[in-house]
Structure 1
Amino acid sequence: MARPSEGLKKMSIRNKIMGALLLVLSFFAAASFYQYERLQHSNQRLGLVNNLFMPFSRQVAQIQSHLQTLSDDMRRLYFSSQPQQDNPVISRMARDLYPFVIQKKMARAAELLGQLSSQEESVKELSWRLQQIQEQFEAFMKSREKVDFEKHLEEIGNGLVLISKRAEDECQKITLSVQKEAKENLITSMFLATAVLLLGGAAAWLSYRTLNPLPELISRLKKISDGDLDQTIKVESHSQDEIAVLAREYNRMLTTLKERDRQIHQQQKELVRSERLAAVGELSAEIVHEIRNPLNSISLNIDWLENELKTVNPEVKETLSALSAEICRLNEITERHLARARVGVENTKMTSVNDLIQEIVSFDKGAEDRVEIKTSLWPEDLFVRGDRARLKQAFVNVVKNAKEAMPRGGTLEVKTELKNNTTRIMFKDSGCGMSASVRKKSFTPFFTTKTQGTGIGLSLTRQVVEELNGTIECESEVGRGTSFLFQFPV
């Protein structure tokens, strides 16, 4: 089951922001509706006080006042030991007008109670007691004896006092209840306001967190336009919103740009190297051409001298023979340099690697140095498609450099093997090694650390290897020797 945080990460930006906004608005609406209902309830309770109990209390007070006046007149006119003979008008008021007013007041009070008698238990009780008082008043008005008169009057008075007190108690109860509700509403309002603020803050934080990568993305794009490609953006792996997708595509684009930039730089280096090698080739061909002409002339003259001086001193003949040998050696040197500079021509001949290594090792055995060459050849013969002479020259250059790196002697290991459908030839010496900076420039034309070096041996070796669709790698560490790995497709 997916966790809520994972579901949130998979939501789109629009859904996140709209969801947060709707959540805040919904909570705010619910809080407002709740407060409205609470206020309506308080207003309804206060309405009972203002529209019912207070007018009802006034009616009861007026009834008590009129009843007191009526009772006084009735006692004086009818139930006194010496009844007074008042004006007939006053007697009629006592008999007809006051009861009418009192009944009207009671009817008004009953009408007030009847408006809410179905909603409040206290109102029902007051209605019931008021109805009893009305019945007692009717009995009071029918009294012909003083005892009955006083009895009904006392019951009516007590009933009026009771309902008046009940109305006052209800007013006080409702007032206290509304005051309590007001305090609770204040606390609730503060709580709801705090909750709304927290939700709003959470929504703002979510929006900020969601949109925060945009300024960083813009800043990094500006840096990329200035040429700085090291501007990768960190992205949460589970996030699936538009910003995360954009950041991933940005990182992928940046990786592609880096790779293309690396390829462009590599191609530029290859172009510069090719131009240098081409210049070396042209220069070598021109130098060789200029040298071979005088050498041919000298060789012809020496041959003529040998024919002309057949009977001369043997020492002269030996000298002429030595000159001829040196001229032949110079021709071989110039031919070798011309072969180095010559652009490779596709050759479909197969060259045996093991035979070539054995030939180089056998030729080198007569050298006067203290370098021991150890070989570890693949049991089965390995072949490379290409010119044998050029491949031999590439291997010889590496062997020559290895021996020069071990002036006091050492060991050169030569190993051939077949791995991953690739012919591999490794030369590893125990010489002084190279620093990282020197190793990086080892294949650069004209770069050399030797006092009498030309700096073109390894560059030509690399050119030969690449012409044969192979690769050459160099690994070296100061004090621990250097290794060259040739790899050719089978």
Structure 2
Amino acid sequence: MSVRARYLVVITSLITIVVLVLAYFQCARLMSAHLTAKVAAENMVATNVLALAQKAVNERPQMSAESAIKDDLQVRGWLDAVGRNGHFSYFGILGADSNVLIEHDPLHHRNNSIVIPFETLHHKSWIRQWLDLRHSNYLYEISTPLNVNSQPFGRFVAGVPAQTIYNEVLPDLRLALSIAMVAGLLAVLLAVLFSNLVLRPLREFFGLIEQLEVESAAQSADEKESSGQDLQWAAQRLRELGKRFAGNRNEIEAMRDQMRQVMSNFPDRLLLLDRDQRVMMASPEAERLLLSWESANSKIASNGNGHPQSLRGLILSDVLTDAHPLSLLTRRAFNSGQLREETMTLPTPEEKEHKLLASVQVFEEHGQLAGALLTLRDFESLKRLETQLDYATRLAALSRITSGVAHEVKNPLHAMVLHLELMRAKIDAGRDPSNHVEVLTSEVNRLNRVVQTFLDFTRPVQLQTRRYDANELMREVMMLTPITPESKIEVITSYASEPLFIETDIDLLKQGLLNISINACQAMPEGGTLTITTASHNNQVEITISDTGIGIPEDMREKIFNLYFTTKEKGSGIGLAQAFRAVQMHSGNIEVESEVGKGTRFKICLPAV
């Protein structure tokens, strides 16, 4: 049985016992109150009867006391009046020898029932009282002695049927038992509802054990069956965990050594921090760099050889000053819970200043901050790598743009070869070859244009860049876009509220963006909506040009930036290639989304400055 089940059984049992005890005493109190009230009512009537009897005797001194009382009309009238209130079934005044002097018993209860002294009922437990009252033929008689002229005279009796008392007590007992039952049920319900709250610390304890425990694949079926969460289970699991942790300590140390070897062979300088920004592990290069700073040497104790100790176990802010750029960057990353990068110039043993790219990548465990990885990269090496990558990207982009040149060159060459053969045949036949000469001249001019365009694309361009607002640039582009009322094109612009500065060759980039906007307008021959937006995201300026035109089929989207590729009857296939080249020369990129029949969206991303 689980701990929660045991808790509920114990609590329910205790509540049941308490409710039963309280209900018992409450019912006893109610029964006693009703019986005491009957006795009090009889005593009040007896007191009045005694007063009237004494008066009757005093008014008839020549008669005996029994005769005076028996013949007195006031006594009889009082008994008749009191008998009609329904509290008692009969009243009577009995003489010294128990002979009846006066009696009020219209229904003859006294003669037709079993008369039992009231005292015998009053002195029983309430359960026995309740059982006796269920006998409908029982009549309980309350007797009070009468003294006339200070001499014992007889007694006054009042009878009440057991059924009458039963009917009077029953509603109160039912109410008391109902309240006790409801209170017990509510208490049990609250115990069930609050059991989770009461047992939460114990469940958390069990949960921690389960998190720490790594179940073995060879765990037996008996162990799995006995894994109910109770204290015995917890003790057993703690013993197992102790054995496993003792056995895994060597494995952990081996893994730590392997991590050290990996970090020592890694080209970057690495520091692994815990949630308190304490150094858990450091690569040799990172440790050597930090220990070389005077601020670190002044705070780290030396070992016997006079060399600083390892950084392991030290808080980063204790190794460095609080105002050190690395300390500030690490605090910002821990506070935000996000990756933080920053280029900073720091001293090194070999040179006075060394430019580094520092990044802090925080990591979480179960939704809580668990630590961070601090990486220090050589900035110059990164710049060289970035330059090489950029060069490769530019070559790939140029190859993509000019992939259609071979086709454009091959077409006029084929035509020239054909017409040269025809011209040779005509010359041999003595016929006029002038028409073929004209065709050859036209194809040579065409080939010259293709080659000249190719040279323009491959010729290095020296960008004349300056800082410029992308919002203003797009306003100028839209002023140059040929949109007339006859085109039925609605223009919607949404520029960023703040300036979006980029480093740009204004004329080159403007021409590229203009080519995209003109292409968007040409894609809407029946009219539509041209939407221009600018925004800033992740240190980039995003310019979006969207149309509601015919769209671009999926199999053509990869070719639209190729030189000479066009889907228009009179298109040159140069505009989008120029736009792609202009954006690529600004270290940007273009993303295209299109759906046939719904439109196309060009997103140009450029580095922000």
In which range does the TM-score fall when normalised by the shorter chain? 0.3 to 0.5
Structure showing greater radius of gyration is 1
After TM superposition, the score normalised by the length of structure 1 is 0.33
Higher percent of residues as strand: 2
Higher percent of residues as helix: 1
